[in-house]
Amino acid sequence: MLDETRRKIVRISVAAALGVALALAFLPLRILPRLACAVLDAGCPTVPEARGRLPQITRLTPVQVALSGTYVALGDSFSSGEGVWSSGQPPVNDGADRCHRSTGSYAPQVAQSYRFPGGTVFYACSGATTRQLLTGQWGHPPQITRVDAAAGLITLSIGGNDAGFTQVLTTCIVKLPWSSACVDQDAAVGRRIDELATNLRTVLHELRVRAPDARVIVLGYPRPFPERPTGTYDNLSVADQQWLNGMTRRLDDTVKSVVSEFDRTIAGFGAPGSAEYVDAYEAFTGHEIGTAQPYLNGLHMDMEQMTVDARSYHPTGEGYHRFAELVTAQVAQGPGRPMNNYRLTDPGGQ
């Protein structure tokens, strides 16, 4: 008992000295009870102190990011469903009569493959250029205004109209059979494709400003003719077909380069969201124009006006189904890198 009493006296003396020193040093008072417990064996709680836990931080998978909000489908005629649209179809939404939005496009099929808690917004418009995507068509609000921070997934195809492919195709088809008018467009088309890069960066930037957490999937264009054409088709010589294939490849490569560069920037900053390119160039292999079961419509010509009908060289129902497969596969696969989207979970379940 005597030794225990002496030990307590020593602890009290030490505590008193420390208390004076700490007070003089302006030590925060909240630390003193802990010192009292450690030195004096006094004032200690009878149960362990409740310690708050930090929220759990979970990195989202690509699918979780895509399904975190609204699905917004934008773009040109390859996204609107031009190739399967008809005037007798009920409108998908306002403006479907001019934009030729069809339920047979890939976007509605993607919407059926996943459950998007925010629903689907489908506003792709036939004839859209990168500029019109930002400024509007036919008196309708710009497609870009359909995007907000609730978007988890955005899909689009864009660039073909910037390159002037409709007029290019018309020139190729209505030329005299022995004329080189088709391939003579090479320099002009190449220049327009090069100019597309700047406008596409602007589109991606605007999408990101409006939906910084979303995955943006940009779909390329399919090769229209077989890799090795065997003869003339729709007044297009073998050389014409190969040239059109080459221009499609050049357009796709330009779009891919811009999208890939944009995603590298996002990843480099460790930012959420993504920009992803889906290469569709070989998607219709074996089903190009001129084959037994084409996934692209052949020529529909208005001979009175000498113009090519808009459905020409656009995907058929099978073509849009193939596009839907590509997009849904990309949704599942992701950008090929970890997403930088995170979810905070309250450990208390509150």
Three-class secondary structure assignment of the chain:
CHHHHHHHHHHHHHHHHHHHHHHHCCCCHHHHHHHHHHHHCCCCCCCCCCCCCCCEEEECCHHHHHCCCEEEECCCHHHHCHHHCCCCCCCCCCCHHHHCCCCCCHHHHHHHHCCCCCCEEECCCCCCCHHHHHHCCCCCCCHHHHCCCCEEEEEECCCCCCCCHHHHHHHHHHCCCCCCCCHHHHHHHHHHHHHHHHHHHHHHHHHHHHCCCCEEEEECCCCCCCCCCCCCECCECHHHHHHHHHHHHHHHHHHHHHHHHHHHHHHHCCCCCEEEEECCCCCCCCCCCCCCCCCECCCCEECCCCEECCCCCCECHHHHHHHHHHHHHHHHHCCCCCCCCEEEECCCCC
**Known catalytic residue: 314?**
yes
d(CA 260, CA 61): 19
**Known catalytic residue: 77?**
yes
- Active-site option among 102, 237, 274, 314: 314
- Active-site option among 68, 77, 105, 312: 77
Residues annotated as catalytic are 77, 314
